[in-house]
Amino acid sequence: MISAILPLGVASAHAFDDLEPAPLFAEEEAQLAGAKAKRRREYATVRRCARRALGELGVAPAALPRGEGGAPRWPDGVVGSMTHCAGYRAAAVAGAGQLAVLGIDAEPAAPLPAGVLGLVTSPAERERLAELAGAAPAIPWDRLLFCAKEAVYKAWFPVGRQWLGFRDATVRIEPDGTLAATVHPGGTRHDLGELTGRWLVRAGLVLATIVA
């Protein structure tokens, strides 16, 4: 499903459950010490997806432990991103010569909890959400914006190496399934310019991708 909103040449894989066995490398197992069973299953399944996607690029299976900022440590020459939420796990990868950054995220297609929207958006973004909701009220635009900002963070952190607040990225969602984002944290060491992406609402999920 995530493949529908990724550029050509980006490899991806997804799963809707954790039923298929998903072996882990020793380095990955070490990061799960004390983790609950649900967390272990999600962690393992999304890495199985990632290794399948890497295989499409001709990259041999390798450990994909969490690194700085919680971002996966990808093999040299690869950019990638993972996501998991209730009922969905996915990973996407590309050669570093094809993309500078890549981020994906998936969320349940439901409105954000009360009080969250004001914490993660600017006034201009909320005004835009109101316009979109007026035109297509069936789409959870607030959750979609949250999802897109998560994808921005996943794309940006591996090069920026700096935590982002939700208001450190401005995202504009278009009703045609595209989006654009800029990152503007104070003191950033990287300027990626405008990031672009796509979004999708399907099967009870909202999905967003970001690339540059």
Of how many residues is the chain composed? 212
- φ, ψ (nearest 5 deg) of residue 189: -95, 0
Sign, CA dihedral 93-107-88-62, equals positive
pLDDT at site 187: 47
The full DSSP string for 4-48 is GGS-TT-EEEEESSS-S-----HHHHHHTTT--HHHHHHHHHHHH
Per-residue pLDDT of 91-146, as tens digits, reads: 999 999 999 999 999 999 999 999 999 999 999 999 999 999 999 999 999 999 99
Q: Is the pLDDT of residue 17 over 90?
A: yes
Cα separation, 185 vs 66, whole angstroms: 23
Per-residue pLDDT of 160-190, as tens digits, reads: 777 777 888 899 999 999 999 988 765 455 5
205-211/102-108 β-pairing: antiparallel
pTM of the model: 0.94
Measured from the Cβ of residue 18, the count of other Cβ atoms closer than 10 Å reads 19
Per-residue pLDDT of 52-85, as tens digits, reads: 999 999 999 999 999 888 899 999 999 999 999 9
Per-residue pLDDT of 131-167, as tens digits, reads: 999 999 999 999 999 999 999 999 988 887 777 778 8
Residue 95's SS3 state is: strand
Measured from the Cβ of residue 42, the count of other Cβ atoms closer than 10 Å reads 19
